[in-house]
Amino acid sequence: MAPMELALILGWWLAAASGAQKLPPPSLSLHPSQGVSLGDNVTFRCHLPQSAAWVWLYKGGLWTHNMYQDKEQDTAEFSILSTNREHAGSYQCQYRLYWTAETSEKSDPVELVLTDHSFPPPNISLSPGKRVGTGTNVSIQCWNQGYGADFLLHKDGCSAPIQRQELLVEDKATFTILGVTPADSGTYSCSYRPWAQRFLSSPIGNNVTLEVAPTPAPPGDARRSLVVAVVRGCAAALVFALGLYFVLDARSLWVRRGDGPGGEGS
């Protein structure tokens, strides 16, 4: 190892030991960000708020990769070719500036979840039915073949799962959507992650389609609305009539006073 590289590493360890964590943290992104299966290639990109000399990648809090940047760059890339189960996990990155002992805080964690096609896809059902009216409570059940797992509910068009449910022993999850509206219409599906291997996922299973139709007001509600409208109309007419009466009465009184003794007309 070159003396300069050895000095940089030693400086980093001294900075870490002294708690010199003053720099803003980087951000970490995963490419592709989802739908990664065992055997696929993935790339971690550590985005730096300023150019750095050393960049480290951590998995589960433990250092796994490092990169020395000989050019001033604001992104460091770490690629994993042909992923396996050991690569699944939570990752962070960290950097150190050129010619200083300052190291940044670690980035927010990014999860690499790998789809394992050896897991059978889950089943799914929809209740009370495919087509429901606005305001109905809908249940979507997902189950597998005996795996205690975290179940995730997906909706087409949403990049992330919309609901999640952890089951340690049971193998059936029930997701409830209360008081559905037409916005809840769409295609739903499920996946699961075995509780002992939370960064491995089953393939997404079959889907169900929910159609939410606008529900007209019940006849009783329509009659009540009509009665309310009539009452409000009558009240408005009564107020107008009373106002007109008082105006005319006041005018009549003013006329009589004008025609009497001492009035303007005498």
User: Which stretches of the chain are assigned E, i.e. beta strand?
Assistant: 27-31, 36-37, 42-47, 54-59, 62-68, 75-80, 89-96, 110-112, 114-115, 123-127, 131-133, 138-143, 149-155, 163-167, 172-177, 186-194, 200-201, 207-213
CB 209 within 8 A of CB 130: yes
Provide mean pLDDT across the span 86-106: 90
* pLDDT single digits (tens) 134-150: 999 999 999 987 767 89
Q: What is the pLDDT of residues 230-266, one digit of tens each?
A: 556 555 555 555 555 554 555 554 445 555 444 444 3
* pLDDT tens-place string over residues 159-200: 889 999 988 777 889 999 999 999 999 999 999 998 888 899
Range with the largest mean pLDDT of 168-172, 209-213, 225-229? 209-213
- Give the per-residue pLDDT at 92: 97
CB burial class (10 A; 0-12, 13-18, 19+) of residue 72?
exposed
- Across the chain, mean pLDDT equals 80
When comparing pLDDT for 265 and 32, which is higher? 32
Rg of the chain on CA atoms, in Å: 35
Contact (Cβ atoms closer than 8 angstroms) between residue 85 and residue 193 = no
